[in-house]
């Protein structure tokens, strides 16, 4: 069956950057499964999946606008050490989930720990990157009522 709204899709992928370096792959793992049309994967990839069927293989390059967006300098901020109460030792590379003023949760990475405070970056690690995917559609099935109601694949 073809991928359409409310299909549950499993696929294998290999993701490389402009330099051809592998950023992520499902090789040796279970395929990734998602509910099509629910915005569970980046827009550019969801669009490219539309109408494909199981066994199909294709390559697609996706600009930041249809992936993780451009890097927003305003998301790099310096916060006081006190913001990390309860954390034994804050180190560069650590990730934390925070709630912004709008009440949305986002993941921030610690970039630098200084005497004056901690520099954090709320940009997605792949923001600003053009993503090159090799995709193999493994399975396509109709979502169950429960999956549609929940808005995700089980
Ligand atoms: Zn559920």
- Ligand 1 ion: Cβ-proximal residues, 5 Å cutoff: 150
Q: What are the structure tokens assigned to 108, written together? A: 């921030």
Distance 138 CA to ligand 1 centre (A): 22
d(CA 143, CA 93): 38
Looking at the chain, the whole-number percentage of residues with pLDDT higher than 70 is: 100
DSSP SS3 for 149 = helix
pLDDT of residue 90: 94
pLDDT of residue 122: 92
d(CA 55, CA 77): 45
d(CA 108, CA 9): 29
d(CA 142, CA 118): 47
d(CA 120, CA 97): 11
Over residues 28-75, the pLDDT tens digits come to 999 999 999 999 999 999 999 999 999 999 999 999 999 999 999 999
Over residues 76-104, the pLDDT tens digits come to 999 999 988 888 899 999 999 888 788 88
Closest by CA to 15, choosing from 6, 7, 25, is: 25
Mean pLDDT score, 106-115: 92
Averaged confidence pLDDT in the chain: 95
Distance 51 CA to ligand 1 centre (A): 25
- Asked if 21 and 150 touch (Cβ cutoff 8 Å), the reply is no
Confidence of residue 25 (pLDDT cuts 50, 70, 90): very high
- Asked if 28 and 35 touch (Cβ cutoff 8 Å), the reply is no
Distance 128 CA to ligand 1 centre (A): 32
d(CA 42, CA 35): 12
Distance 85 CA to ligand 1 centre (A): 33
**Residues belonging to the chain:** 154
């Amino acid at each position: 069956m073809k991928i359409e709204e409310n299909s549950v899709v499993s696929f294998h992928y290999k993701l490389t950057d402009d330099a051809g370096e592998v950023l992520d792959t499902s090789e040796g793992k279970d395929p990734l499964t998602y509910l099509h049309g629910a915005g569970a994967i980046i827009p550019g990839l969801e669009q490219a999946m539309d109408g494909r069927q199981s066994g199909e293989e294709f390559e697609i390059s996706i600009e930041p606008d249809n992936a993780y967006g451009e890097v927003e300098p305003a998301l790099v901020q310096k916060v006081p050490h006190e913001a990390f109460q309860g954390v034994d030792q804050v180190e560069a590379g650590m990730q934390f989930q925070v709630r912004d003023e709008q009440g949305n949760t986002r993941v921030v990475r610690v970039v630098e720990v200084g005497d004056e405070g901690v520099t954090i970056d709320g940009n997605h690690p792949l923001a600003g990157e053009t993503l090159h995917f090799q995709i193999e559609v493994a399975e396509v099935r109709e979502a169950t009522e429960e999956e549609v109601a929940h808005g995700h694949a089980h």
